[in-house]
Amino acid sequence: MPLLDDDARSLPRVILSTRRMSENKTGNWRTMRPVIDRHICTGCQICWKYCPEACVKLTDKVPAIDMDFCKGCGICVEECPKRCVSFVPEASV
């Protein structure tokens, strides 16, 4: 593990985190998958705003959900004002 000591010898040795948790693909936690109906979606960004995984990506209009990380919590399904995000069992996808 990298340590903070070379650059600053007067400081105590501490373990440095140099890698990101984004290596940890949490998509396999999901049992239900959110699917946006792109014909109804108005691009209001509310699903992006509330996603606890920060895995809804903004685009010009219909947001793109990164299924590598989506845990399937359903907040986007519940909060979408157009009710255009359906929740489908992962097994059926």
List residues binding ligand SF4 (CB under 6 A): 34, 36, 41-47, 51, 53, 55-56, 63, 65, 70-76, 80, 82, 84-85
Instruction: Determine, following the binding rule CB under 8 A, whether residue 79 of this chain makes contact with other proteins.
Output: yes
Q: How far apart are CA 42 and CA 32, in angstroms?
A: 23
Cα gap 33→88, rounded to integer Å: 5
Query: Of 17 and 92, which has the nearer Cβ to other proteins?
Result: 17
Q: What are phi and psi of 15, to 5 degrees?
A: -75, 135
Q: What is the largest CA-CA distance in the chain?
A: 60
By beta-carbon proximity to other proteins, the closer residue of 40 and 45 is: 45
If one asks whether residue 72 binds other proteins (CB under 8 A), the answer comes out as yes
